[in-house]
Structure 1
Amino acid sequence: MFEPIFIVGCERSGTTLLRIILNQSAELHIPGESWFLKELSKHRDSYGDFSQPHQRWFFIRDLQLNHATKDTFSFDIFQLTLSEAEAALKQVAPADFYGAAASLFQASAHKQGKPFWADKTPRHVTQLDWLAQAYPTAKFVHVLRDGRDVALSLMKAGWEKNIKSAASRWQQRVSYGTIIGSQLGNERYYELKYEDLVTQPELSLRKLCTWLGIEYSPDMLQHHTKTKDHINRDWHLHARVAEPINGSRAFAWKKKLTRIQVAEIEHVAGALLDQLDYELTSPKLFRVISRVAS
């Protein structure tokens, strides 16, 4: 039996890149961000067992109204017609909410000619414990990236007001994910470092594919030729994934952040950076001075 796969991580850590790479697999289909599982599970009593048309209609309607991102809705990610979604839900009934949701992911994968599905929603890292209980056989891939690069990218995207809040977002999400992941164990939880992915792509992907139980394909490293097939929003934020993998993307912060900015990030998230084997560069005293100065 196939085990659901969830790709998570702090935003701007490389989850989109990994999604596009793995979508070159002949086995795995990963749609856009979903962000509805926990939200709509609150209404599972209303959906019943999905055996009745009105129950299926309510679920589809809620998917159409639920924002996956600021600009997208959850139903659209499946690229299913209303009749296709209705048929998928009817076929799996009677089912609980989680089985019904999985049936839509599965129908979406089958429509793309693939047997398996995964979900790539970075914010699910904040729901890791809940998802692990909702899908007891699910596997989780946590994409990790140096918090200084993430903070820089979050600021560039306009998603955080200052470097400290960006560092705090990274620290909170990654810390939570690693703690829950360690509780899940190696059979269900896998950490993939962005830096390994861009500097040793084939080796990193072969290891990941073995753990996922899918076959590695050289086509994965040609992901950039099909990027626009998988990105339909915020192209300016993902333009780099349309280029071949380049190891220079790792540790860009070393050239782009000031010493004060680095010290501010390391003051907020230094312990976690060190825990994940990212070398700290600011003396402890300088990190304290940067805090006082700000």
Structure 2
Amino acid sequence: MNGRNVVPAAGESADRRPPLVGPLFVVGSMRSGSTMLRLILDSHPEIAISPETGFMGALLATKTIPNWKNGKDWYRRLDWTDEEFDDRLREFYAGMFERYAAAQGKRRWGEKTPFHTAHMATMARVFPSAVFVGIVRHPGAVAASLRKSFHYTFPDALSYWAATNLDMLRAATDLGPRFMACRYEDLVIEPEQVLRELFSCLGESWSPQVLEHHRVQQDKGTPRVVDGHTITRDPVDAKRAANWTQAVTDADYAALQSTAALAGFFGYDVADAIARQPLLPPGSNRAWVPTGDDLARR
């Protein structure tokens, strides 16, 4: 899909939508709710978001032949420029995802892999019409979940949260309107408001199906358990925003202070699971979904 120009609806500010509608990449740290967001977006009748593929690892590996002095940028020996090689890589990988979407009768494709936060700049170059949706979650929630699911220590999990979200934030400010963010807590507490704004920013019509992703995914035969041990039959539940507090200790809360500055940037209070400050200033025509430009101005 090469992208198409988007004309804002009547009465809608042009900055609400990215300039192109193309591939949609979901990014965010592990345990941030990225799989839930993928399932929600995939429930839209026009969008197919694949399960995790990690395809950027393969794409980047294609550019280098290991254990050979001439292996870096080997294609230049055949008089291929970086731009020409990126074009060919885009054709190949986009073709795979386009077939995945077309098999479901959908016109727009996307992908979600958490470690792709480190590759957003390359993805934006190879797929120049792509847009990115980043999801962020309270650092305590992510750390508690990583400890439970993947046996991280709490401090190591907090370091991972900070590194991943800094990667995402740096890329987001360069991407400007091609990047949109949402907070997990906003999404589970006010799902319709957040999703209406997000789909408008993505240039997509509203579909109530996205509020019933658990039913949509069951009807299409999605496995009950998918990436990250996510249960696809579970609806969005506001109680999940604070569930993590039952699994943290006083020592964990003390460790959370190491993330206070970055958490505060995203509107979080490290000592409170629910309290959130607005990410957008008063008078903004959006309430829930900041773009990369909005984040750069914070």
Q: What's the TM-score bracket when you normalise by the shorter of the two chains?
A: 0.7 to 0.9
Partner of 1:137: 129
The answer on 1:184 being equivalent to 2:184 is: no
Query: 3-state DSSP class of the match of 1:30?
Result: strand
Matched with 2:148 is 156
Change (3 A) 1:227 1:112: closer
Aligned partners of 1:235 and 1:277: how far apart in 2? 28
Separation in 1, partners of 2:170, 2:60 = 24
Distance 1:15 1:230, change over 3 A: farther
1:18 is the counterpart of 2:9:
no
- Partner SS, residue 32 of structure 2: coil
Measured in 1, the distance between the counterparts of 2:155 and 2:161 equals 10
CA RMSD of superposed structures (Å):
2.1
Task: Name the structure 2 match of 1:71.
Answer: none
Listed one character per residue, the Cα deviations across residues 19-59 of structure 1 (whole Å, up to 9, x for unaligned) are 1111111100111111122433432599xxxxxxxxxxxxx
Q: Which is helix-richer, 1 or 2?
A: 1
Structural mapping, 1:220-231, within 5 Å: 220-227=210-217, 229-231=221-223
2:158 to 156, 163, 167: 167
**Conserved? CA contact 1:44–1:97, under 8 Å:** no
Q: Which has the higher strand share?
A: 2
Q: Could you tell me how far 1:281 is from its partner in structure 2?
A: 2.5
Q: Given that residues 35 and 227 in structure 2 are in contact (C-alpha distance below 8 angstroms), is that contact kept between their aligned partners in structure 1?
A: no
Q: Equivalent residue for 2:260?
A: 270
Tell me what 1:218 maps to. Answer: 208
Once the two structures are TM-superposed, the CA of residue 265 in structure 1 deviates from its matched residue by 2.5
- Conserved? CA contact 2:137–2:183, under 8 Å: yes
CA distance in structure 1 between the aligned counterparts of 2:125 and 2:109, rounded to whole angstroms:
19
Q: What CA distance in whole angstroms lies between the structure 2 residues aligned with 1:173 and 1:146?
A: 13
- 1:125 to 1:158, Cα distance in 2 relative to 1, 3 A: same
CA contact (8 A) 2:138 2:268 kept: yes
Compared CA separation, residues 233 and 243, structure 1 to 2 (3 A): closer
1:42 to 61, 67, 73: 61
Structure 1: state its 5+ residue gaps.
47-94, 283-294
Tell me the equivalent position of 2:187: 197
Write the distance in 1 (CA, Å) between the matches of 2:225 and 2:214.
16
Aligned length: 230
Q: Percent identity?
A: 31
Q: How does 1:103-114 map to 2 (within 5 A)?
A: 103-114=95-106
Where 1:118 maps in the other structure, the secondary structure is: strand
Instruction: Find the aligned partners of 2:228 and 2:267 in 1 and give their Cα distance.
Output: 31
Q: Is the 8 A contact 2:139 2:270 kept in 1?
A: no
What is the alpha-carbon distance in structure 1 between the residues aligned to residue 119 and residue 98 of structure 2?
22
Bigger Cα displacement from structure 2, 225-234 vs 251-260:
225-234
What are the superposed Cα offsets for residues 65-119 of structure 1, whole Å, 9 maximum, x if unpaired?
xxxxxxxxxxxxxxxxxxxxxxxxxxxxxx6011211011111101111111011
Q: 1:214 to 1:173 in 2, by over 3 A?
A: same
Partner of 1:127: 119
Per the alignment, residue 236 of structure 2 pairs with 245
Provide the TM-score with structure 1 as the length reference. Answer: 0.73
SS at match of 1:96: helix
Determine if the alignment matches structure 1 residue 102 to structure 2 residue 121.
no
- The corresponding residue for 1:55 is none
Distance of aligned partners of 1:231 and 1:121 in 2 relative to their CA distance in 1, 3 Å threshold: farther
TM-score normalized by the length of structure 2: 0.72
For residue 206 of structure 1, report the CA deviation from its aligned partner. Answer: 0.6
1:262 aligned partner, one-letter code: Y
Partner SS state of residue 29, structure 1 = strand
Question: Shift in Å at residue 219 of structure 1?
Answer: 1.2
Query: CA 1:213–1:37 in 2, change beyond 3 Å: closer, same or farther?
Result: same
* 2:251 aligned residue: 260
> AA paired with 1:165?
D
Whole-angstrom distance in 2 between the partners of 1:104 and 1:280: 41
Distance 1:225 1:159 in 2: 31
The letter for the 1-side match of 2:47 is L
- Does the aligned pair in 2 maintain the 1:20–1:230 contact within 8 Å? no
Contact 1:25 1:215 in 2 (8 A): no
| Partner-residue secondary structure (3-state), 1:242 | coil
In structure 2, how many angstroms separate the alpha carbons of the residues matched to 1:277 and 1:45?
41
Extract unaligned runs of 5+ from structure 2: 4-20, 66-86, 273-298
CA distance in 2, matches of 1:236, 1:122: 10
* Pairwise CA distance, 1:234: 5.2
